[in-house]
Amino acid sequence: MIKNIILGIKEYAGAFELISKLKLWRYFVIPILISLVTAILIGIEAYVLSDNIGAYISKIWIWEFGKDTFTSISNFIGGLSVLIIGLIFYKHIIMAFSAPFMTPVSEKIEQHFYGDLKHLHRKTTNTQQLIRGIRINIRNLAKELLITMPLLLLKFIPLVNIFSTFALFIVQAYYAGFGNIDYTLERHFNYKKSINFIDENKGFAIGNGIVFMLFLLIPFIGIILVLPLSVTAASTRTLKILHNNAPLTYEK
C-alpha cells in the first residue's frame, strides 16, 4: 500500500513536461473553466452557510456554562464541515462533467508510449463517456458522504479529532484518485471491472489523490493545474499497470 502511494505521488514528476510535449493543454480549457466556475459557486455557498450551520450546532449545548466555548467550537466545525463537503461536491462535479475531455488526453498518452491500440479499446461516444462519468461520481459521492459524516462528528472529541482530520484527507484523496484513474479505465473496462481495478490499486489512487488535494490548497493556480496534472499522472501510472498485465484486452 505505502509503496503504491509513493508511486502514485512520484508520477506527477513528469506530468507538466508530458502535457507540453504532447500539446495536451487545449483539452483542458473547458475542464479548467468548469473547475473555476464550480469552485467560485461552492466557495460563495460555503461562506454563506458556515455561520448558519455553526449557530445550529451550538444549540445542542443547552447549559450556560461553557456556552461561549462550545459556540466557538461549533462555528469552527460548521465552517470546516461546509468546506469539506464543498470540496467533495467540487471534486465530483468537475470529474463527472470533464469526462468527455479527459478521455482523449489519456488516449493521446497511451498512443505516445504504446502506439495506436484503438482496436483494443471499447468504442464509446462523448455522451456515453459523460454518462459513465456522472454514474461513477454519483456512486463515489454517496459513498464518500457516508464515510465523511461520522468522521465530522468525531471532530467534537479531543485528540480523536486529529485522527478524523487525517482520515478525512485520505478519504478525499482516494476518491479524487478514483476519478482520475477511471478516465483511462473507461476505454478498457466496463463499470464493474473498473471498480474492481481501483479496489485492487487503492494505494495508487490515494497517492494520486493526495497531490490532487494538496493542489487545491494553492489559491487560484491550484484550481487551474489540478486536473491537467492529476489526470496526466493518473493516466501514465494506470497505463503502466494495464500494459504490464499483457495481453491488453478490454471488457465489453
User: Looking at the whole model, is its pTM more than 0.75?
Assistant: yes
Distance CA 139, CA 142 (A): 5
Q: Give the model's confidence band at 175: pLDDT under 50 very low, under 70 low, under 90 confident, else very high.
A: very high
Provide CB contacts within 8 A for 177, sequence distance 6+.
8, 204, 205, 206, 207, 208, 209, 210, 212, 230, 234
In the prediction, which pLDDT does 85 show? 83
Q: Give the model's confidence band at 162: pLDDT under 50 very low, under 70 low, under 90 confident, else very high.
A: confident
Sign of CA dihedral 178, 244, 99, 24: positive
CB-based contact 233:214 (threshold 8 Å): no
pLDDT digits (tens, 9 = 90+) for 205-249: 999 999 999 998 888 888 888 889 999 999 999 998 988 855 444
N residues, the chain: 252
- Cα torsion for 234, 32, 172, 60, to the nearest 10°? 180
Of 97, 88, 214, residue with least CA distance to 146: 88
Percent of the chain with pLDDT over 70: 83
pLDDT digits (tens, 9 = 90+) for 78-127: 777 777 888 888 889 998 888 888 888 988 998 888 876 664 556 777 78
